[in-house]
Amino acid sequence: MADKNPALVKFLTGKSSYTLLLFHHFINEFEKIGNITVEPTKTMIGISNSHKRIAWVTQLGKNFIHVVFPFKQPYPDNLCFQKVGQVPGQNQFNHHLRILNVDDINDEVLGFMRLAYEL
């Protein structure tokens, strides 16, 4: 995946090996759900299915990745999102997920990843 996209390679350059492990694990798990496109923008990495952007990797920290899922409704009853907030003036609710370990991509997170892919 990263080898095929020079812009993504540039975006990931200099990140810690642990952060890259988390990022690649997250992408690999998404690819098990369905075909995705991974596209870096100026400040973040967009993840799309064939219809739209379904998630954003907004931060690649020293030992974590931060992911935002944009849903049309809030899903407040969860144990995985650290924050759920409505985008002002829009019918979009951003669900913030911080991945610190590969085990953080558990059944609950995989369920939200499938939901994002299918909506």
CATH of the domain at 109: 3.30.1460
Rounded to two decimals, the pTM is 0.90
Domain total for the chain? 1
Q: For 18-67, write each residue's pLDDT tens digit.
A: 999 999 999 999 999 999 999 998 889 999 998 899 999 999 999 999 99
**CA quadruple 4, 63, 83, 58: dihedral sign:** negative
Helices (H), 1-119: 6-12, 17-33, 107-118
Q: Cα separation of 63 and 61, whole Å?
A: 5
Domain with 12 in it: 2-118
> DSSP letter at 103?
G
Tokens matching residue 47: 């993840």
111 secondary structure, DSSP code: H
Structure confidence by residue, pLDDT tens digits, 81-98: 999 999 999 999 999 999
